[in-house]
Amino acid sequence: MYNLVKKVWRQKGWLKTYFSQSLKGTIGPHTLDNLEPPIDFIISIANHFEPRVSTLGLAGAIEAIKEWCGGLEKIATRDFDGNPFKHTYYFPGENYNPGLLAPLEEHCKKGFGEVEVHLHHGLEKPDNADHLEKTLEEYIKNLRLHGFLSYDKTDNSMKPRYCFVHGNWTLANSGQGEFCGVDNEMEILAKTGCYMDCTLPSAPHFTQINKINSIYECGFPLSDAIPHRDGRDLAVGSGEPTFPFLLEGPLLINWKRKKKGIYVPGIENGAIHDLNPPTLDRFRLWVSANIHVKGHPNWIFIKLHTHSLRNNHINSTRGLVMTKYLNDIGRFYNDGTKYRLHFATSRESANIILAAIDGKTGNAGKYRNYRFILFES
């Protein structure tokens, strides 16, 4: 009992926000009731794509990546715009090897995803700002060799731009020095071209902040530690946000979760793995998080995450389980009149967010390339 109380107490910050949002009616099963159709669901998955080189060896890891890509490409389900289900492959910079990324090049050219920046650092000792900046710059150059990343079409410099996920959840030194060590990490991300972060939610990890179910910009100077602990929600007409802004995934309580036939409420954090596979019921729960640009409620963003190369994640992220889930949500939420599904990458989600800020309406899928454009490989 003591351990259970301790675990719950550690979650008290975001739980307070969750209950506040629930009481205000900003999240919950009835959030769609008063919206005029059609309602667009922009679904993305931040795949912490971590090759198991240490256990499989380089050749084995390359084969595992090829097998993963082939498995996902067999899913025939398409969204309202005719796109396949996509992943954003947050490939860790510390594992960079040309052979590991080669299978993803052709996979992404076929339209099944995009590669973005993922980094675990400060593992043995706290990192420092200079080393982090150099590490990111070198990794960005390497990703460009494979034709990955994007540029800002409003900027003639053609500087590479990217989305980011922090390894070990410790964004901007939110791990109290562990697995990071760089207070001004967000400042360095901005300097090196990052426009959106997709790390959160991290609950039940202790790095989870109180602000949840939001699309927002950092509320504190980017030179501070954890400047994303609060911030201004992005809204229609609010102007260009401070980059990088944050797209959070759903963070809720699943009151209907069952274990051995008994209701045992648990945390719903949008994680996809074999013990908690995607289902129609979970989709409806994710929708209830009501994550959208303020003033633009008809475009709802559902950002999920997985570690699909882990043995206990593979079956739920491709194959029969994922196919059934996609077919189920397509049957109920993709009629084109009341609902439209859009399978998106992180970059495409960011572009749709920026279009919403500028007051664009209609089919959200039209704005996948609104500002940040893929380099031609």
Strand pairing report for 271-272 and 262-263: unpaired
Q: Which residues are bridge partners to 254 per DSSP?
A: 266
Residue 375's contacts (CB-CB under 8 Å, 6 or more residues apart) are 144, 147, 148, 149, 150, 151, 160
Q: Is 355 exposed, middle or buried (0-12, 13-18, 19+ CB in 10 A)?
A: buried
Residue 101's contacts (CB-CB under 8 Å, 6 or more residues apart) are 91, 115, 143, 146, 148
Q: What span, in angstroms and rounded, lies between the C-alpha atoms of 272 and 266? A: 15
Q: What span, in angstroms and rounded, lies between the C-alpha atoms of 377 and 370? A: 19
Q: What span, in angstroms and rounded, lies between the C-alpha atoms of 130 and 162? A: 19
If residue 373 lies in a helix (H) or strand (E), which one and from where to where? strand 372-374
Residue 15 domain flag: no
Phi, psi of 227 (to 5 degrees): -70, -10
* Packing angle, helices 280-288 and 319-333, rounded to 10: 60
Alpha helices in 192-252 (DSSP H): none
* Nearest Cα residue to 325 out of 280, 371, 365: 280
* Packing angle, helices 12-24 and 2-10, rounded to 10: 60
Q: Which residues are bridge partners to 341 per DSSP?
A: 41
What pLDDT sits at residue 1? Answer: 45
- Domain residue limits at 87: 35-121+128-374
Q: How many Cβ atoms sit within 10 Å of the Cβ of residue 161?
A: 24
CA angle 235, 241, 242 (to 5 degrees): 145
pLDDT digit string, tens, across residues 292-318: 999 999 999 999 999 999 988 888 999
Residue 12 domain flag: no
If residue 173 lies in a helix (H) or strand (E), which one and from where to where? none
**Residues lower than pLDDT 70 in the chain:** 1-9, 377
Q: How many domains does the chain have?
A: 1
What pLDDT sits at residue 315? Answer: 86
Residue 25 domain flag: no
Residue 341 domain flag: yes
Residue 97 domain flag: yes
Q: What span, in angstroms and rounded, lies between the C-alpha atoms of 219 and 200? A: 16
- Write the DSSP string, 308-335: TTSTTTHHHHSHHHHHHHHHHHHHHH--
Cα atoms in the 13 Å half-sphere on the side-chain side of 134: 5
The DSSP letter of residue 202 is: -
Residue 29 domain flag: no
Residue 19 domain flag: no
Q: What span, in angstroms and rounded, lies between the C-alpha atoms of 360 and 236? A: 9
CATH number at residue 329: 3.20.20
What pLDDT sits at residue 286? Answer: 98
Residue 278 domain flag: yes
Q: Are 113 and 105 in contact (CB under 8 A)?
A: no
pLDDT digit string, tens, across residues 134-184: 999 999 999 999 999 999 999 999 999 999 999 999 999 999 889 999 999
The amino acid occupying position 5 is V
Q: What span, in angstroms and rounded, lies between the C-alpha atoms of 179 and 120? A: 7
